[in-house]
Copies of this chain bind each other. A is one copy, B any other.
Amino acid sequence: MSLKNRDLVTIDDLTNGEIESIFSLSDEMSGSMSQQYGLCRGKVMATIFFEPSTRTRLSFETAMHRLGGSVISVSDPRSTSFSKGESIADMARIVSSYADIIVLRHPWEGTAKLMADYAGVPVINAGDGGHQHPTQTLCDLYTLKKERGDIRGLKIALWGDLKYGRTIHSLIFALAKFGATILFCPSPGLEVPENILRKLVTEYGGELEKFSKNYKQAQTGAFPVDAAYITPGQPHQLAMMPGIDLEVAMKAGVDALYVTRPQKERFTNEERESGQQFPIVDQKLMRGKEFRKALVMHPLPRVDELAYDMDADPRSMYFKQAARGVPVRMALIALLLGAKEALVPEEPVVPKVDYPMYRRGYGVKCSNPRCVTWQETEKNYLKPEFKIVSFNPLTFRCVYCEHGTEPKCVASAEWHQGMVKNKKYHHASSHLAKKIKPENLIAFDLAEEAEAHGFKPGYYAQSPAKKEKPKIG
């Protein structure tokens, strides 16, 4: 499938074959950088950055200039009409009537998808809150590929802030796609969010194993793995059965240690005030046997979590990762603008699951207050929309920020057929809930929400747990 006129909102938007074709073109670009000038002559890229950035914006702009194109830019949200209360949809329509391609960074999760929905030109997500940052992931994968040849079967340890790091979230799915084994080494309290683990297992298959003794290890400087993910079709290289000592299993070593900065700007007040110390990756740690051949990767900027004594170490890849951002982004831009054509095998390696949708626009709100659907300026026109990713328990996934939400009450459009007296709601975990066809499903976050919409409690309105309590008591 051609990449021309496509968006890149999450790493799921690209098949493995498409990613490989971007990498081939990146090789071509970096091999003859000065000959690419003119490839996008006369084309205009808009870089719209609503969060601080240096490398990502400059990297995209450099890529466009090296292709001979032009750039228009908003790098300070306070200097734009957003300060007058403009919506993302309006900005999308306007900017896409000027530019040929849009690169967006925004603090609200899901904004890139919303922009892509309304823009008439390709939109590249350069980071939307804590959600995703797919072009960083392309740079990361490209570096792994250049340094290790093949990603399949590599053991990649993710280290640090796995909760708020959007580069981590994109990378997890990409690694799963390409068959790597992922070792999760979060700082305490900054574990990978549940919605990501759930998507990883349900959509990418594979197995996830959790371990318990990780935090103690973190403090002693040992390898603090709290979980591991092994892609389907992979032999279990690690004997990660419960009860087996992970340290023993790790002797073979990891192939890369991917370090991230604590994203303090997204911390809750509690997290900010916890005064928690974050483990540091330095020469001392890297002398460990398990890291002997490990590439040290980091999306940068770093603060204290990655010591300067690593800079001259041949295992350190972080400056190369950044430098490779230019050819990778050149390739991506050229492909999305149709200035280059990729030859890509048709079928995605991991086919997308085809979930039923919930599009009623009422009853359920995304559970993530950082989601674009919660924002004052967007409420006027934007209705929440969800994939129904599970019926047991009933779980919705926001199509914008991909956070999970579990509505507490349900009804069926078939039951009442417009008759007020039949408008009954039941608990989402009741057996009745499972009988509702997705197209008839009406869901509510809470009973109050259901009643506000004119529904009365049905027989199974309370949670089974609650109902049973009186029987026991």
Contact = CB atoms under 8 A, between A and B. Distances in A.
Interface string A62-80: 1001101011101110111
A319 B96 CA distance: 10
B74 A76 contact: no
Contacts of A413: none
A94 B319 contact: yes
A90 interface: yes
B82 A54 contact: yes
Interface in A113-156: none
* Interface bracket on A: 35 or more
A460 interface: no
Contacts of A302: 86, 90
A269 interface: no
A44 interface: yes
Contacts of A59: 98
Given A84-B265, A84-B303, A58 B72 contact: yes
27 contacts: A37-B41, A42-B66, A44-B62, A44-B65, A46-B58, A53-B79, A53-B81, A54-B74, A54-B95, A55-B94, A58-B72, A59-B98, A61-B72, A62-B72, A65-B71, A75-B79, A76-B79, A81-B300, A81-B301, A84-B261, A84-B301, A84-B303, A86-B302, A93-B322, A97-B323, A98-B323, A98-B325
B97 A322 contact: yes
A305 to B, nearest CB: 11
A65 B70 contact: yes
B34 A98 contact: no
A95 B62 CA distance: 10
A99 interface: yes
A85 interface: yes
A69 to B, nearest CB: 9
A41 B261 CA distance: 37
Interface string A238-267: 000000000000000000000001000100
A381 B308 CA distance: 6
A215 to B, nearest CB: 25
A41 B58 CA distance: 18
A454 interface: no
Interface in A307-325: 307-308, 311, 319, 322-323, 325
A282 B72 CA distance: 33
